[in-house]
Amino acid sequence: MSSPRAATASDADAFQSRRAVAVVVGVVFVDLLGFGVIIPVLPFYVRSFGVSDVFIGLLAASYSLAQFGAAPVLGRISDERGRRPVLVLSVGVAGVAWLVFGFASQVGAAAGTTAGLVVLFGARLLAGAAGGNIAAAQAYIADVTPPERRAGALGGHFV
């Protein structure tokens, strides 16, 4: 009969690594959810402002454009200041941006269509910029994952 193996420091490190990866994957999931949930309702929401369908495409593209521009910037900041602050701040900023996006129709009703559209684009750009945290998320996973598991952790969670 064999005795149970005692927990080692490497077991604790592996647990911490898995937990960190799970948290970061959760952050990225929330980012992607914020991007994807809005897409099906975006045409109806934008049309309520009485503008052409061109604005729907521009608004949808604005998120990705901001994310594309912000990813290297957030990656560099996370190298200098740390991964966690960038990830936490970006999730908070995205939450505020989604909230503002939801209230854009009230701004449009109160201050006019142009003001509502400016709020829509501003909120979408801000959410996209916050979604640029994927570079910091990948770097964080690379930081906490042992080299022999790194490819699997990055590939399995970001595909």
Please state, in angstroms and rounded to a whole number, the distance separating the CA atoms of residues 101 and 116: 9
Q: What residue ranges do the domains of the chain occupy?
A: 47-157
| Percent of the chain whose predicted confidence (pLDDT) is above 70 | 88
Global confidence as pTM = 0.82
Please state, in angstroms and rounded to a whole number, the distance separating the CA atoms of residues 90 and 145: 22
28-75: pLDDT as tens digits = 888 888 888 888 988 998 888 888 899 999 999 999 999 999 999 999
Structure tokens at 83: 């991964």
Residue that has been written with the tokens 């898995």 in this structure = 18
What is the rounded average pLDDT for all residues in the chain? Answer: 85
